[in-house]
Chains A and B, each alone.
Chain A
Amino acid sequence: MTLAENLFENLRLELRRGCLTLAVLAQLRQEHYGYTLRTALAERGMVIEESTLYPLLRRLETQGLLLSEWREEGKRNKRFYRLSSDGEQVFRHLLEEWQAINTSIHNIL
Chain B
Amino acid sequence: MDLLDRYLQAVKKHLPWQRQDDIVAELRANLESQLEDKEAALGRPLTTAEVEAWLKEIGPPMQVAARYQPQQYLIGPAVFPTYWYVMRLAFTWCLIIYSIVTVVQVFAGPLSGTALLEAFLRVPAVLMTTAAWVTLVFAVIEFGTTHYPGKCQLIAKYPEWSPATLPPLEKRPAPGKRPRTYAHAVGEVVFGFLFLFWLLLIPEHPFLLLGPVVVYLRASPFQLAPVWTPFFWCLVAVSVVQLGWRCENLLRARWQQPPALQQLMVSALGLIPPLVLLNAPDHVLFTLKRPALDLARYGATLYSMNKLTWLGLLAVCAIGAVNLTWRIGRIGLDAYRRRAAGVAK
Q: Name A residues whose Cβ lies closer than 8 Å to a Cβ of B.
A: 33-36, 38-39, 49-52, 54-55, 58, 74, 76-79
Please tell me the number of chain B residues within 8 Å of chain A, measured between CB atoms.
17
Q: List 22 A-B contacts (CB under 8 A).
A: A34-B26, A35-B29, A39-B37, A49-B59, A50-B30, A50-B31, A50-B34, A50-B58, A50-B59, A51-B59, A51-B63, A51-B64, A54-B30, A54-B67, A55-B68, A74-B33, A76-B32, A76-B33, A78-B26, A79-B25, A79-B26, A79-B29
Contact in complex: B29, A77 (CB < 8 Å): yes
Q: Which residues of B contact A74 (CB under 8 A)?
A: 33
Contact in complex: B27, A35 (CB < 8 Å): no
A-facing residues in B320-334 (Cβ within 8 Å)? none
In the complex where A49-B59, A52-B67, A55-B67 touch, is A34 in contact with B30 (Cβ < 8 A)? yes
Q: Which residues of A contact B26 (CB under 8 A)?
A: 34, 54, 78-79
Minimum distance in angstroms from B252 CB to a CB of chain A: 32
Q: Which residues of B contact A78 (CB under 8 A)?
A: 26, 29-30, 33
Q: Which residues of A contact B67 (CB under 8 A)?
A: 51-52, 54-55
Closest to B69 in A: A55
Q: Which residues of A contact B63 (CB under 8 A)?
A: 51
Task: Give complex CA distance A100, B31 in Å.
Answer: 37
How many residue pairs between the two chains, A and B, have CB atoms under 8 Å in the bound complex? 52
Q: Which residues of A contact B68 (CB under 8 A)?
A: 54-55, 58
A-facing residues in B3-40 (Cβ within 8 Å)? 23, 25-27, 29-34, 37
Minimum distance in angstroms from A78 CB to a CB of chain B: 5
Contact in complex: A35, B34 (CB < 8 Å): yes
In the complex where A58-B23, A58-B68, A77-B25 touch, is A51 in contact with B30 (Cβ < 8 A)? no
Q: Which residues of B contact A77 (CB under 8 A)?
A: 25, 29
Q: Name B residues whose Cβ lies closer than 8 Å to a Cβ of A.
A: 23, 25-27, 29-34, 37, 58-59, 63-64, 67-68
Closest to A34 in B: B30
Q: Which residues of B contact A35 (CB under 8 A)?
A: 29-31, 33-34, 37
Minimum distance in angstroms from B205 CB to a CB of chain A: 51
In the complex where A50-B58, A51-B59, A58-B23 touch, is A34 in contact with B29 (Cβ < 8 A)? yes
Q: Which residues of B contact A55 (CB under 8 A)?
A: 67-68
Task: Give complex CA distance A6, B40 in Å.
Answer: 38
Minimum distance in angstroms from B33 CB to a CB of chain A: 4
Closest to A37 in B: B30
Q: Which residues of A contact B34 (CB under 8 A)?
A: 35, 50
Q: Which residues of B contact A39 (CB under 8 A)?
A: 37
Closest to A56 in B: B67
Of the residues A33, A49, A52, A58, contact of B30 by C-beta under 8 Å: A33
Q: Which residues of A contact B59 (CB under 8 A)?
A: 49-51
Q: Which residues of B contact A79 (CB under 8 A)?
A: 25-26, 29
Task: Give complex CA distance A70, B34 in Å.
Answer: 18
Minimum distance in angstroms from A40 CB to a CB of chain B: 13
Q: Which residues of B contact A49 (CB under 8 A)?
A: 58-59
Task: Give complex CA distance A77, B22 in Å.
Answer: 11
Closest to B63 in A: A51
Task: Give complex CA distance A77, B67 in Å.
Answer: 23
Closest to B22 in A: A79
Task: Give complex CA distance A51, B26 in Å.
Answer: 12
Minimum distance in angstroms from B232 CB to a CB of chain A: 54
Minimum distance in angstroms from B70 CB to a CB of chain A: 8
Q: Which residues of B contact A36 (CB under 8 A)?
A: 33
Taking A35-B29, A77-B29 as known contacts, 19 extra A-B pairs with beta carbons closer than 8 A to each other, sorted by chain A number, are A33-B29, A33-B30, A34-B30, A35-B30, A35-B37, A50-B58, A50-B59, A50-B64, A51-B59, A52-B67, A54-B68, A55-B67, A76-B32, A76-B33, A78-B29, A78-B30, A78-B33, A79-B25, A79-B26
